[in-house]
Structure 1
Amino acid sequence: MSQAGPILFVSNAERPAFIAALDEARFFPVVDTDWASAARAVEQMQPAAVLAAMHGGHEPHIALLAKKIADQPLYLPLIALDARSTLPPNALPFSSRDNADALIARLRAAMRVRTLHATVLRRLPELRVAPPDADPVRDATVLLVGRGAAYPALSVALGERMGVIGALSIEAAAKHLNSRDIDGVVLAEGFTPRVTDAFLTVLAEDTRFRNLPVVVTAHQLVQSYDLPNLELISGEPAKIAANALPLIRQHAMEAQLSRTLRSIDAGGWLDPRSGLLTVEAFARDFSKAVEQTLGRGGGLSVARFAFDPGNPRAQLDAARILSRLMRQMDFGAAQKDGSVIVVFAETDFRTAHMIARRLSAVMRHTSNGKHEMRSDPVVSVDSLSPSDTARSLLARLSADASRAAS
C-alpha cells in the first residue's frame, strides 16, 4: 500500500513514544513540524498522511491546515490526536492512549482509501464515468443504536448531516447491518458494558464490518478490539456528531470509490452513486429481456418503487438496498422521475409481489433525524403478458402506481 511521501507529525511538543514506534515499524518515515509551519510543510513535502497533536498551540493554525489538506487532489488523511473540542470536517479523531498498534491500524485503514482514490483517478479517463462527488457524506447512512435520554438529540444531530437508521436493540442493529450499506455505527447509552463488549466483539470478528467506523459514546472499553476505526467520543450530541462525521465520511468515500471502480469495470453502465444500472443501460437490457422472454417463454415481472418527491434521499437509499439485496439474475435502475424499477427474471407475479413487499419493508426503516422523513414507497408490480412490449409494460406499471398513490 505504498504511497510517495512521509507521515507529517505536527506538534509544538516533543514526539511521544507511540509516534516514534511508527519509525520502528517502518510503516512510513515520520517528519516533524510545528503548528506554525504545518500548512507550508504539507505543500512542500506532499505527505501521505498527517498526524496532528491537539495538545495546545494548534488553535490559530488548525483551520488553515485542514483546508490545505482538504484542497489536495488526492485524499490526504488528517488524524487529530486527543482532540478535546469539535474538529474540522476532515480531521479523523484518534484517542491515542499511547497505543502505537491502534494508530498504525487507523493509518492503514485511511491509507487504503487513499490508494483506492489514486486508482480511481488513474482509471477515470478510460470511460465517461462521473467522478465521485466532492462530499460523499451527503449520501452516507449511519446506524444509531441506543435507548437512553440522549438518543433523540443524537438522532437529530446526526440526521442534520446524513441519513440515520435507528435501532433500540442490538438485535435490531444486527438486522440492519446485514441488509443495509452502513457507513458508521454510533453506539449510544442504554446498554451495559457487557452488551457493548459483546457487540464490538461480533463486529471485530466479521470481516464485513472490521473497517466500519464505530463510535462509542457512553462506556470505556473493557478490552482492545480489532476495529481500526473504533473511537470513544463523549459529550454533547452536537460534538459527538461533528467528531464522528470525518470517520463516517471516510467510509462513505471508500464505498463511493468502490462503486466508481465497479462502474469503470462495467464499461460505464453502472451508476456509481446508486450501484444499479444507468437509465440508458436499464432501457437496453430491459428491451432485450422482454424480447427474449416473449421469444422463448417463461416469466418476467417488474416492480416500481415510487417515493415522495419531497424526499429525494429515499430514492437513493432504496436503490442501494436493491443493489445489495436483489438476486444476481435481476437488474434495476433509479429513474429520473424519482422512482426505482427492478426487473425480476424468470419470476411470476405472485413471487415478484412477495419479493417487492419484503424489499419495501426494509426501505421503511430509514429516516432523516432532523425531519423524520421516512422512506415509505408506493409499490406496484406487474408481469409480462404475450401482447406486451417493453414500453407497454412500463406504461402499465406507472399507471398502476398512479392509481395506488391516489
Structure 2
Amino acid sequence: MSQQGPILVVSTARRPPFAAALDAAKLFPVIETEWTDSARAVEQVQPAAVLAAPSATNEAELAELAARVAARQPYLPLVAVDPPAAIPDNVIPFFQSQDAQAQQGGIDRLVGRLRAALRIRSLHATVMRRLVPAAPMTLSQIDPARDATLLLVGRGGAYPALSVALGERIGVVGALSIEAAAKHLNARDIDGIVLGEGFSLRVIDAFLTVLTEDARFRNLPVVVTVGDLAPTYDLPNLEMISGDASNVVATALPLVRQHAFEAHLARTLKAIDANGLIDARTGLLTVEAFERDFASAVYQTQQRGGGLSVARFAFDPDHPRAQFDGARIISRLMRRMDFGAAQEDGSVVVVFTEADLKTAHTIARRLSSVMRHTSHGRRDTPSDPTVSVATLLPNDSAKSLRSRLQEDGRRVAS
C-alpha cells in the first residue's frame, strides 16, 4: 500500500530498536521525537501513524499525546510498545517477545499491525471523502459495550472471571470448545477473540494456524492467555499475555474497539454505495427503504403470484444492544433475496420472498438459535428474541400483513 505520511516515533533520547524495523520494512519516512515534544510533533509532522515507547514515568505525556491523536481525522493509529498497565482507550498495545528466537517474528508482527492500522486509516479517509453531508466519525464514538462483540473461548477456573471482566465492558459470545468457536466465527460478526485455558498447546496451535490461513480472520484481534507458544503466526493483532482478567481486558479492549471501528466504516461505505438505503450500524435497510420495498414486494407478489412471509424478532427493550446484535446476525445470515430493518420499537422485521409459512418458520428458527448464544452487558443478558411469523394471504395488503404480524407477536409474547 502507498505510504500516507511519515511515521512518528516517540521515545527517550535513545533510538528504540523497533525504529530500525520500520526502516527495514521501508515504512518511511520515520521521524523521531522525544516525549516532551510529542504532542506538538503530531501537529507539525502530520503523521500517518504514531509509535511510542512509554514507561511508567511517561504516563502524563502518553495521556496528552493520546488526546491529541484522538482528535485527528482520518483515524490516526497510536501504537504503544510494551506500555505500562494503564493506557488511554485509543492506544493500541504491542508487547515485544522476550524470547530471542521470536524477536524477528515480533518485528514482523509490529510491522503487520501498523500496516493493518494504516488500512483502517485509508478506509476512514475514503468514507470521509464520500460522506455527504460531511459528519464527524471518530474511534471515540465506538462503544465496545454497544458496538463490538468478542468471542471468549475456554473452560476451567479462569473462564468465569474472564467472562465477568469482559462482560462489564463489551458484548461477549462464549464458546467452551474450538468447534463451537468456529461456528460462531462463521455465523456472526466477531471483533476479537480471547482464548483462555482448557486446551492443549497442539489445539491452540491448530486454531491459530486456521485463523492465519483464512483471510477473513487474519487481522482479527486475538489474545491468548495460556500456553508457551511463540507469537510467530501471521496474525498482526495477536497478543500472548499472562496475568489476571484485568490485564486481558486492558490488552484486548483497544484492539477490539479498533476492529469494531473498521467494521463500522465498512458498513458506512456500503450504505454510501446504496445511496443511503442501508443502515450503517446494522447492515440492514433503513426503515424508510424497508417500508417502500415491503409495499412493493407485497404488490408484486399479489400481482404475479408466489409466496411471501414476514418474521418479527422482538427483543427485550431494556437491552437495546440485543436488537442491534440480532440485526447484524440477520444481515449476515439471511438469504440474498430477503431484506429487513431494525424497528423503532426494538424489534427487527425481515421479509422472506418466495417463502411459504413453513419455510419462513425454518429460516426464523435458524436465525434465532444463533442469537440465543450472545450475551450483553454486565449481567450477560442473552439475546433471546420472541419470534412471530406471518405469511401473505390472497386478500392481504402490506398494512394488513404487518398488522397481523404484530398481533401474532403479542400472542406469542403472552
- TM-score category by the smaller chain? over 0.9
The yes-or-no answer on 1:316 pairing with 2:324 is yes
Q: Residue in 2 aligned with 1:122?
A: 129
- Rounded to whole Å, the distance in 2 between the matches of 1:347 and 1:168 is 35
- Rounded to whole Å, the distance in 2 between the matches of 1:84 and 1:55 is 6
Q: Deviations over 1:357-382 (max 9, x none)?
A: 11100000001252121111110001
Which one-letter code corresponds to 2:17 in the other structure?
A: A
Residues 322-337 of structure 1 correspond to what in structure 2 (within 5 A)? 322-337=330-345
Residues 7 and 27 of structure 2 are in contact (CA less than 8 Å); yes or no, is this contact kept in structure 1?
no
The yes-or-no answer on 1:110 pairing with 2:117 is yes
- Rounded to whole Å, the distance in 2 between the matches of 1:72 and 1:219 is 38
Which one-letter code corresponds to 1:37 in the other structure?
A: D
- Rounded to whole Å, the distance in 1 between the matches of 2:134 and 2:22 is 41
- Rounded to whole Å, the distance in 2 between the matches of 1:394 and 1:155 is 39
User: Any gaps of 5 or more consecutive residues in structure 2?
Assistant: 98-102
Change (3 A) 1:235 1:182: same
Q: Deviations over 1:218-271 (max 9, x none)?
A: 123246111111112322212211221110011001100000000000000000
The yes-or-no answer on 1:263 pairing with 2:271 is yes
Cα offset, 1:187, TM superposition: 0.5
The yes-or-no answer on 1:203 pairing with 2:211 is yes
1:173 to 157, 181, 186: 181
Q: Deviations over 1:43-62 (max 9, x none)?
A: 11111111111345322311
Residues 63 and 87 of structure 2 are in contact (CA less than 8 Å); yes or no, is this contact kept in structure 1?
no
Change (3 A) 1:13 1:187: farther
- Rounded to whole Å, the distance in 1 between the matches of 2:283 and 2:353 is 19
1:296 to 294, 298, 304: 304
Residues 146 and 167 of structure 1 are in contact (CA less than 8 Å); yes or no, is this contact kept in structure 2?
yes
Which one-letter code corresponds to 2:381 in the other structure?
A: M
Q: Residue in 1 aligned with 2:42?
A: 42
- Rounded to whole Å, the distance in 2 between the matches of 1:332 and 1:221 is 44
- What TM-score, normalized to structure 1? 0.96
Cα offset, 1:347, TM superposition: 0.5
Residues 128 and 268 of structure 1 are in contact (CA less than 8 Å); yes or no, is this contact kept in structure 2?
no
State the SS of the aligned residue for 2:280.
Answer: coil
Q: Deviations over 1:81-107 (max 9, x none)?
A: 012413211111112234321111011
- Rounded to whole Å, the distance in 2 between the matches of 1:306 and 1:235 is 40
Residues 218-229 of structure 1 correspond to what in structure 2 (within 5 A)? 218-222=226-230, 224-229=232-237
State the SS of the aligned residue for 1:58.
Answer: helix
Change (3 A) 1:23 1:222: closer
Deviates more, 1:158-167 or 1:10-19: 10-19
User: Any gaps of 5 or more consecutive residues in structure 1?
Assistant: none
The yes-or-no answer on 1:346 pairing with 2:346 is no
Q: Residue in 2 aligned with 1:62?
A: 62
The yes-or-no answer on 1:191 pairing with 2:199 is yes
Deviates more, 1:220-229 or 1:335-344: 220-229
Q: Deviations over 1:25-52 (max 9, x none)?
A: 2222111111111111111111111111
- Rounded to whole Å, the distance in 2 between the matches of 1:372 and 1:59 is 33
- Rounded to whole Å, the distance in 2 between the matches of 1:54 and 1:202 is 34
- Rounded to whole Å, the distance in 2 between the matches of 1:49 and 1:2 is 13
Residues 322 and 376 of structure 2 are in contact (CA less than 8 Å); yes or no, is this contact kept in structure 1?
no
The count of aligned residue pairs is 405
Q: Residue in 2 aligned with 1:86?
A: 86
Residues 366 and 374 of structure 1 are in contact (CA less than 8 Å); yes or no, is this contact kept in structure 2?
yes
Percent identity over paired residues? 64
RMSD over aligned Cα, in angstroms?
1.6
- Rounded to whole Å, the distance in 2 between the matches of 1:295 and 1:319 is 30
- Rounded to whole Å, the distance in 2 between the matches of 1:132 and 1:291 is 42
Q: Residue in 2 aligned with 1:15?
A: 15
Residues 127-166 of structure 1 correspond to what in structure 2 (within 5 A)? 134-137=141-144, 138-166=146-174
Q: Deviations over 1:148-201 (max 9, x none)?
A: 222112112211221100011111101100101000000111212111111100
- What TM-score, normalized to structure 2? 0.94
Deviates more, 1:236-245 or 1:256-265: 236-245
Which one-letter code corresponds to 2:378 in the other structure?
A: K
Residues 6 and 47 of structure 2 are in contact (CA less than 8 Å); yes or no, is this contact kept in structure 1?
yes
Q: Deviations over 1:268-323 (max 9, x none)?
A: 00000000000000000000000000000000000000011111111101100000
State the SS of the aligned residue for 1:59.
Answer: helix
Change (3 A) 1:188 1:106: same
State the SS of the aligned residue for 2:311.
Answer: strand
Which one-letter code corresponds to 1:48 in the other structure?
A: A
Residues 80 and 94 of structure 2 are in contact (CA less than 8 Å); yes or no, is this contact kept in structure 1?
yes
Residues 16 and 53 of structure 2 are in contact (CA less than 8 Å); yes or no, is this contact kept in structure 1?
no
State the SS of the aligned residue for 2:243.
Answer: coil
Deviates more, 1:333-342 or 1:231-240: 231-240
Q: Residue in 2 aligned with 1:100?
A: 107
Q: Deviations over 1:107-163 (max 9, x none)?
A: 1000000000000000002x6889578225331000001112221121122112211
- Rounded to whole Å, the distance in 2 between the matches of 1:128 and 1:292 is 37
1:272 to 265, 271, 280: 280
